[in-house]
Structure 1
Amino acid sequence: MGQIAGIWRYPVKSARGETLAEAEVEDGGLAGDRTWACVDDQDATIGSAKHPRRWGALLQVRASGDPAIVEVGGARYEAGSAEADKALGEHLGRPVRLTRTAPAEPRIHRLLPEEAGMVPDWLADLRPGQERVEEAGGHARTGRFVDFGAVHLVTTGALAALAEKAGHPVPAERFRPNLLIDADADPDPGTEVAIGDVLLRVLFRTPRCVIPSLPQAGLPTDPVVLRTLARHYRIDVFGNGKGACFGVYADVVRPGRLTLGAPVTPT
């Protein structure tokens, strides 16, 4: 199928992550990936850049390492420390705390994209630009603050096709994947993929939100990405109606170690 062309880890949900040359893969995903989240002290919701007005500034925060270090305004703090919470609260403009433990009722705020085609069929009762509070179910599945699958993959071939439709290159970083695979197309749902001694099972194609269009990791705002996804990438997702999708979610069947350049083989 191809080989690993990029590895990313995001120690804090919706914060900037780090590129890696190798990574341990555990049952719940890459070691240290999305093990922390920023929680609003006022309503106990989990910080997610899916609502840019509330949490978009998290994309300016850098997180790295395991145990995690967060960088806010050029200063570095240990995740879980009072100093980190204070710096993040000042950065975000309200009291927050970093936690490895999900709230009893984990919820996030979501702002639906203004692009009508980006509203999935299962949210058809809502209008573009409307906000909602919804359950965050990924932690219950994986023990991590992921949206659903333990690992998120994109491929160079899918990015090239997207670039052709969008009229300009779209970096993989806009989709915040764990793995970039040098391959012609994404593996199909239900496929098991061997990467070295790691085995992943592809679950389904990843429904997209507003985040790929936001400024992040040195990238500017790009509304063309959402328009392109809405026009060309609406597919049926697990029999629940159509949504704009890009990349795939996967769960870990067999943990192990990943390295850049490792061969990727469907089984």
Structure 2
Amino acid sequence: MLIEQLWRYPVKSLQGEKLESTEVTDVIPGDRNWGIVDLKTNLLLSAKRVPKLLEGHARIIGEHCIITIGRNELSSQEVNIDQKLSEWLEKEVTLTQPVAGQTKGIEIEWDDGSDEILDNPDVFEFSTSPGWFFDSSSSLHLIGTATLELLEKRVGKGSGDVRRFRPNIVVKTEEPFEENGWVDQHLDIGTVRIHVRKRTDRCVVITRAFDQHQASRATLRYLSENHDREAGISMSPVSSGVISVGDLVEIS
């Protein structure tokens, strides 16, 4: 089994960048290294409640984050980047990086793909890890190609677009959802060993419009009805190293 794609998402909820290789420590360096915070509520913005975030694309050049919105490019080193992001999102926001132990709130909307919209999602607070803007002990996400292909076939065009699921690692698989059976096992990729912690519970983000794809709840509904609303697996590294597209992935 081989790695087919590698992805990094420098800004939480913005589109990410495709990589040919990457270092792996306790995270993929630069992944979710920035977040956009609402200055009024002090909440970390997410595409769960601000779908417009998915219109932005982020990549890392050197130590800086470059955000592309339409034809415009913004750099994290610009003094007025907060003003430009605020104009784009039509609310006062700031681009920030996590500080170890910092407490930050985020809205969570549980969704089964039905047509019912929740007006008051849950809000919870979390403490960040150094250099990573997400609350989880599972810093890597993987999905198999056969899973994406099945969703594209069963649900419709764009349902299996890899960008909808925002994985870090895409592996070539033969059977749809076979990665679901790897929980509590390890993946060995060269010197890197990764512990598979759990199946990934999908949220409303996969229903949002992005690029040429319209908003649709069909994918989430299909997963809710057939796969316990799960697609892909969440993992945490055990040992560090470098992984690349084309690398062999072994299960142990």
Normalising by structure 1, report the TM-score.
Answer: 0.83
CA contact (8 A) 1:45 1:109 kept: yes
Equivalent residue number for residue 132 of structure 1: 121
Question: Cα distance 1:147–1:181, how it changes in 2: closer, same or farther (>3 A)?
Answer: farther
CA contact (8 A) 1:112 1:130 kept: no
CA contact (8 A) 2:207 2:215 kept: yes
Structure 1 residue ranges without an equivalent (≥5)? 118-126, 235-243
Offset at residue 172 of structure 1 (A): 1.6
Offset at residue 63 of structure 1 (A): 0.7
Matched, 1:191 2:185: yes
Equivalent residue number for residue 218 of structure 2: 224
CA deviation profile, 1:189-243 (whole Å, cap 9, x unmatched):
1111011221110110111111111112443323211111111111xxxxxxxxx
Distance 2:223 2:125 in 1: 23
Question: Cα distance 1:166–1:147, how it changes in 2: closer, same or farther (>3 A)?
Answer: farther
Matched, 1:157 2:157: no
Distance 2:66 2:134 in 1: 19
Shifted more, 187-196 versus 172-181: the winner is 187-196
Equivalent residue number for residue 34 of structure 1: 32
Q: Secondary structure at the match of 1:88?
A: helix
CA contact (8 A) 1:24 1:256 kept: yes
Offset at residue 179 of structure 1 (A): 0.8
Structure 2 residue ranges without an equivalent (≥5)? none
Matched, 1:79 2:68: no
Offset at residue 167 of structure 1 (A): 4.7
Offset at residue 77 of structure 1 (A): 2.0
Equivalent residue number for residue 133 of structure 2: 145
Aligned length: 243
Distance 2:213 2:192 in 1: 31
Distance 1:41 1:80 in 2: 19
Normalising by structure 2, report the TM-score.
Answer: 0.88
Q: Which residue of 78, 91, 101 maps to 2:98?
A: 101
Shifted more, 219-228 versus 162-171: the winner is 162-171
Distance 2:34 2:247 in 1: 28
Question: Cα distance 1:104–1:43, how it changes in 2: closer, same or farther (>3 A)?
Answer: farther
Distance 1:147 1:166 in 2: 30
Question: Cα distance 1:217–1:152, how it changes in 2: closer, same or farther (>3 A)?
Answer: farther
Distance 1:152 1:80 in 2: 29
Equivalent residue number for residue 177 of structure 1: 167
Question: Cα distance 1:112–1:190, how it changes in 2: closer, same or farther (>3 A)?
Answer: closer
